Chain A
Amino acid sequence: MTLVWAALALGSVYIIVALGFNIVMASNGLFNFAAPQFIMIGAFLGYAVFTADSSALTLTLVIVGAGTGGAVLGYLEERFAVRPLLKRGHRHGVLVTTIGVAVVIEGVAFALFGSDALPVPFEGASTTLSWLGGGIQIVDVTLISLAIVLALGFHFASKYTRWGLSGRAVTADKEAALLRGVNSGRVSVTAFALSGGLLTVCGIFIGVKLQASYHLGTELVLIGFVAFALGGFGSYLGAILGGLFLGALQMGTAFFLGGEYQLLVVYGVLLAVLLIKPTGILGDRRIRSV
C-alpha cells in the first residue's frame, strides 16, 4: 500500500506539470516549454523562506507571494517572449523562445544556488500517516489533493467559464473566435499568468517532496510531457489520467526492474503512445494540426 501511495504522490506531481502545459495549450494551442521551471522557482522560494523560518503563517504568506510572483513572471513571458512572435506569425519561433525562457530561469537558479539539490525544510511535512495499511507523508496527501482539485477545477472552468470557453473557441478556430469578439490576446495572457502562478505555488510543495535543484524543471518537462501526451493534449481529465499512470509506471518500474530502467520505460511508453494514438487517450483531435 505504501507503494500505491508513493505512486499516487509522484503521479500528482506529473498531473500538476501536465496541468501547467494544458492551461496554456487549451487556451491558445501553444506548448509552453518553460512551464515546469515555475515549479522550480517555487521550490527554491520554499527553500529560501523555510530555511529561515517555517511556520503556518509564513506558509500562507509564501503561497500568496509565490502565486503573485509566478503570475507576474508568466505574464512577462507571454508579453515579451511569446506575443511578439505570434504577431509576426512565427508560431514555431515561440518554441525557441519558451525554451529560451526555461533556460534563462534555469541559468539564474544555477548561478544563484549552484548544482546541488537543496532540501526544502517544512516542519511536519514528512510526518508519516498510516492509511489503509500503508504509510503516506503529509506533503504527499497535500500534493494529491491539490493536483486533483486543481485539475477538476480547470476541467469545469474550461466548460463553464467565459475564459475557458473563449480558449476552446480560439484553439478550435481562431478567426471565427475573433469574429465573435473573443479577445484571444487576453485569453492567452491569462493562461500564461494562471499557469505561472499556480505552478509556482505547487512548486513549494513539490520542492518539499523532491528537493530544490536547478535541474528540477528540465527533468519535469520531459516526464510531465509524457503524462500530458498520454492523457491527451487539451484535456484536463486526461492530465489526471496521464499523471496517475506515469506515477504508477515509474514506481512499478523501480520496484520490479530497478530505478535505472525508469526513464527508458517511460520513453518507450511515450514513443508507443505517439505512434499508436498521437492525440493521447482523451485528446482533442483539432489540436493536432497546430
Chain B
Amino acid sequence: MSSAPFPTSMRFQRIAGWISRAPSVLPIVIALLAILVPLAFFGQYQQRQVVMIMVYTLIVSGLNLTFGFSGDLALGHVAMFATGAYVTAILANNGVDDILVALVCSAAAAAVVGLISGAPGLRLSSWSLAITSLFVVLLIPRVVVLATDLTGGRQGLSGIFNPTIFGFPLKFTGFYLLAGAITLLWLLGMRNFVDSRYGRALLVLRESRQLTQSVGLSPYKMRIRTYLIGSLPAGAAGTLYAYLVGFISPEAFTLNLAIAVLAAAVVGGTSSVWGAAVGSAILVLGPLQSSAFEQYSILTYGIFLLVAGLSFASGVAGPAKNAVRKFGGALGKLHVLQQARLLKNLQPEDATVVIPGQLLIARGVFKAFGGVKALDGAAITAEPGKITAILGSNGAGKTTLLNTISGFVSPDSGMITVGDTSLVDLPPDRIGQRGVGRTFQTPQIPHGMNVLDVVESGRFHQGPGLLASIMRLPSYREAQRENRTVALAALRFAGLEHLMFESAESLPLGTRRLLEVVRAVAREPNLLLLDEPAAGLDDVGLAELAQLVRRIREAGGTVIIVEHNVPFVMDLADEVHVMELGRTIASGTPGEIANDPAVIASYLGESLTAQADLEELR
C-alpha cells in the first residue's frame, strides 16, 4: 500500500478522494432529485404519490434490516405501521397535532409492538418470527374493535389534518419536505448502521452462531436490536400516512398489505439500503394504483414472491450494485482510491497490538453426554508466555475440554478460571467478552468480507456506541479508527498486511487458518484457544503457523493448542497435557512427556507411527 498506484499531488488526492466517495454520494443525489423534482414540476396528486412511496420505503426498509441483514423474516411491519397511524390519529383527536411529537410517539409505540412480537419470536429460528409477527397483523382489527372508544372501531378515525411543527402550521409543501427529510435521514442512518460494527457483526452471525459468540457477541441481542431498530421507521411511516390520508380504519392494514410489503422488499433487494425505495415505487405506482387489478392482486404478489424469492441473490438492487461497481472501475480503480483514503486515516505506523496473557486453571472438569463420560476429571493449567498443548487420541476429550473453556459445553462440575474470573456457567459470548479468543477446526470466515474486515470483526464486542454509529458522531470515527488501527497492527504482527484488501473467503486454507488466529489476536485476548490449527496444512503452512504462535508467546500471550500432529506440537509447545478417556494422564515439558511411561503405554503405544515420531524426537 506504500506504493500507491497514482500520483500524490495534493490536488489529485483531493479529486481522488471525491471520486472514491461516489458510491456513497450518488444514491443521496438521486434521492434528493427524486424528492425535489416532483416538488418543482408535478402537481399535488403526484406529490401525494411520492409521499406514499416514502411511507412504503420506510416500512420496507424496516423489514429489510431484519430480513436482509439479520436473516430473520418478519411479516409484522404492517402492524407497527398501523400502531404508528393509530397513535397519531388518537393524538390528533385529543388536540396534539405537533407532527414531531406524533412521530416520536409512533416510533416508540411501534418498538413496543416489535418487542412483544420479537422477544418470543426470535427465541427460536427465523420462521417463528414470521409467524409471531404475522399474527400481530391478524390481531389489528380485533384490537381496534375491542378498543372502539379510543380507535373508532370499524368506522375508523377521521379528523387527522393540519399538523403543526413547533406550534406553526405545516402546509402540504412543508409536510412533503418533512416526509422526504425523514425518509432520507432514516436511509442514511440505516446505511450507517449496516456499515458499523453492529451491522457487520450481522455478517458474522450469518456465517456462524458459534463464531459470533466466540468474538463476544450475543446473537439473540443482535437480532432483537436489529428488529427493534427496524420497527422505528415503520411507526414513523404510520404518522406520515395518517396525516397524508386524514382518515384511518382497520381496513388499511391487512394481511394482504403485509404480503405486498414483503413482495416490495424482495423485489427491491432485501439486503440493500436503497432498494427499499425502488421496491416501494414499483408497489405504489403499480399494483396499489389500479382497482381493476384487485381481483388478481393477491395472485400477482404471490408470483412476485416466488420469482423474486427464487432468484434470491439480491433482487433488482443486486444488478444495480454491480453496474455501479463497473462504472466505478471505469472511473479509475475506485477501490484503490477508497483503500488509500482508508489507510490515510489510519496512520498504521504507531499501531500496536497487546496480548495480555493470563493464567488458565481447569480442575476436576466432568462432563457426560448420556452415558459417555467425555470429561472425567480433566485438569490443565496454561501460563502466560507459554504454549500449552493438549494431546490425545480421538475421543480423548480434547475438543470437549476446549469447548467447556469457551462455554459451548457447560461442564457438569469442576472449576475453570482465567485470571480471577470463573468461566463456569458463563454463556459463550460472555466468555468471549472476558477475553477468551479461539479458532475453529474448520476456519469460519464470513462471506463478503475482506481480510482487514475479518480481523476487525474480532473486536466487534467493543467500540463506538449505537447512536454514535448511526449518526456518525466524532466519537464513532475515533473508536472506529482505533479498532481498524489495532486490526491492522495485528495483521502486521502476523506479516499478513499485504493481504488486507483481499477477499477473505477465497484465501487458501493455510492463510485462512492464520487469519483466524489473527482475528483472535486483534481482540487482544487474555487466553487464546487453537482447535487443531495444523490439520490439513503442508510444511510451509505449518512453519508459518508455528512462527505466528511463537510470536504470540513472545508477546506474552497464553496459548492452548489442541492437536493431533505430534511432532508439530512436541516441537512447538512448552507444556504438554496428555488426555485419555476424559482424564489428564500426564503433564510436563515435551521432553518429560516423550519419556513418560504412562503416555507411551496407553496412548502413543497404540500407534506405531506416533511411537516412531517419539523415537525420532528423543
Q: Are B127 and A106 in contact (CB under 8 A)?
A: no
Q: Are A110 and B302 in contact (CB under 8 A)?
A: no
Q: Are A100 and B309 in contact (CB under 8 A)?
A: yes
Across the interface, which residues of A come within 8 angstroms of B135, CB to CB?
222, 263, 267, 270
Q: Are B143 and A264 in contact (CB under 8 A)?
A: yes
B594 interface hit (Cβ, 8 Å): no
CB contacts under 8 Å to A, within B282-322, are 295-310, 312
Q: Report the separation of the CA atoms of residues A208 and B126 in the bound assembly, to the nearest whole angstrom.
A: 34
How many chain B residues touch A (CB < 8 A): the figure is 47
The majority secondary structure among interface residues of chain B is helix
Smallest Cβ distance from B76 to chain A, in angstroms?
Answer: 12
Known: A106-B298, A111-B295, A222-B134. A95 touches B73 (CB 8 A): yes
Count CB-based A-B contacts (< 8 Å): 132
Known: A260-B145, A263-B142. A97 touches B123 (CB 8 A): no
Q: Report the separation of the CA atoms of residues A214 and B294 in the bound assembly, to the nearest whole angstrom.
A: 14
Q: Are B312 and A85 in contact (CB under 8 A)?
A: yes
Q: Are B312 and A90 in contact (CB under 8 A)?
A: yes
B146 interface hit (Cβ, 8 Å): yes
Across the interface, which residues of A come within 8 angstroms of B124, CB to CB?
274, 278-279, 288
Smallest Cβ distance from B202 to chain A, in angstroms?
Answer: 13
B130, B135, B309 pick with most chain A CB within 10 angstroms:
B309
Known: A95-B130, A222-B131, A260-B146. A267 touches B299 (CB 8 A): no
Binary contact readout A263-290 vs B (1 if CB under 8 angstroms, 0 otherwise): 1100100111111001100000000111
Q: Report the separation of the CA atoms of residues A175 and B306 in the bound assembly, to the nearest whole angstrom.
A: 28
A92 interface hit (Cβ, 8 Å): yes
Q: Are B123 and A275 in contact (CB under 8 A)?
A: yes
Q: Are B309 and A93 in contact (CB under 8 A)?
A: yes
A216 interface hit (Cβ, 8 Å): no
Q: Report the separation of the CA atoms of residues A260 and B146 in the bound assembly, to the nearest whole angstrom.
A: 8
Binary contact readout B95-119 vs A (1 if CB under 8 angstroms, 0 otherwise): 0000000000000000000001101
Q: Are A229 and B128 in contact (CB under 8 A)?
A: yes
The majority secondary structure among interface residues of chain A is helix
Q: Are A225 and B302 in contact (CB under 8 A)?
A: no
A189 interface hit (Cβ, 8 Å): no
Across the interface, which residues of A come within 8 angstroms of B123, CB to CB?
274-275, 278
The contact of B120 among A95, A96, A270, by CB within 8 Å, is A270
Known: A85-B312, A96-B266, A111-B295. A271 touches B306 (CB 8 A): no
A1 interface hit (Cβ, 8 Å): no
Known: A92-B71, A264-B139. A33 touches B306 (CB 8 A): no
Known: A85-B310, A274-B124. A103 touches B305 (CB 8 A): yes
B155 interface hit (Cβ, 8 Å): no
Across the interface, which residues of B come within 8 angstroms of A272, CB to CB?
120
Smallest Cβ distance from A199 to chain B, in angstroms?
Answer: 18
Q: Are B299 and A108 in contact (CB under 8 A)?
A: yes
Known: A264-B142, A267-B135. A103 touches B309 (CB 8 A): no
The contact of A97 among B120, B139, B297, B305, by CB within 8 Å, is B305
The contact of A96 among B145, B303, B305, by CB within 8 Å, is B305
Q: Report the separation of the CA atoms of residues A84 and B301 in the bound assembly, to the nearest whole angstrom.
A: 20
Q: Are A97 and B309 in contact (CB under 8 A)?
A: yes
Smallest Cβ distance from B467 to chain A, in angstroms?
Answer: 28
Q: Report the separation of the CA atoms of residues A108 and B306 in the bound assembly, to the nearest whole angstrom.
A: 14
Across the interface, which residues of A come within 8 angstroms of B145, CB to CB?
260
Q: Report the separation of the CA atoms of residues A270 and B138 in the bound assembly, to the nearest whole angstrom.
A: 14
Across the interface, which residues of A come within 8 angstroms of B73, CB to CB?
92, 95-96
Q: Are A104 and B299 in contact (CB under 8 A)?
A: yes
Across the interface, which residues of A come within 8 angstroms of B298, CB to CB?
103, 106-107, 110-111, 214
The contact of B130 among A33, A273, A274, by CB within 8 Å, is A33
Q: Report the separation of the CA atoms of residues A288 and B300 in the bound assembly, to the nearest whole angstrom.
A: 34
B582 interface hit (Cβ, 8 Å): no
A31 interface hit (Cβ, 8 Å): yes
Known: A107-B299, A264-B143. A274 touches B120 (CB 8 A): yes
Across the interface, which residues of A come within 8 angstroms of B120, CB to CB?
270-275
CB contacts under 8 Å to B, within A81-119, are 81, 84-85, 88, 90, 92-93, 95-97, 99-108, 110-111
Q: Are A99 and B262 in contact (CB under 8 A)?
A: yes
A218 interface hit (Cβ, 8 Å): yes
Smallest Cβ distance from B505 to chain A, in angstroms?
Answer: 14
Q: Are A107 and B262 in contact (CB under 8 A)?
A: no
Q: Report the separation of the CA atoms of residues A114 and B64 in the bound assembly, to the nearest whole angstrom.
A: 32
What are 17 contact pairs spanning A and B, CB under 8 A? A81-B306, A85-B309, A95-B126, A96-B266, A99-B305, A104-B302, A104-B305, A105-B302, A107-B296, A107-B303, A108-B299, A111-B295, A111-B299, A219-B138, A271-B116, A272-B120, A279-B124
| Chain B contact residues, CB within 8 Å of chain A | 71, 73, 116-117, 119-121, 123-128, 130-132, 134-136, 138-139, 142-143, 145-146, 209, 255, 259, 262, 266, 295-310, 312
| Chain A contact residues, CB within 8 Å of chain B | 31, 33, 81, 84-85, 88, 90, 92-93, 95-97, 99-108, 110-111, 214, 218-219, 221-222, 225, 229, 260-261, 263-264, 267, 270-275, 278-279, 288-290
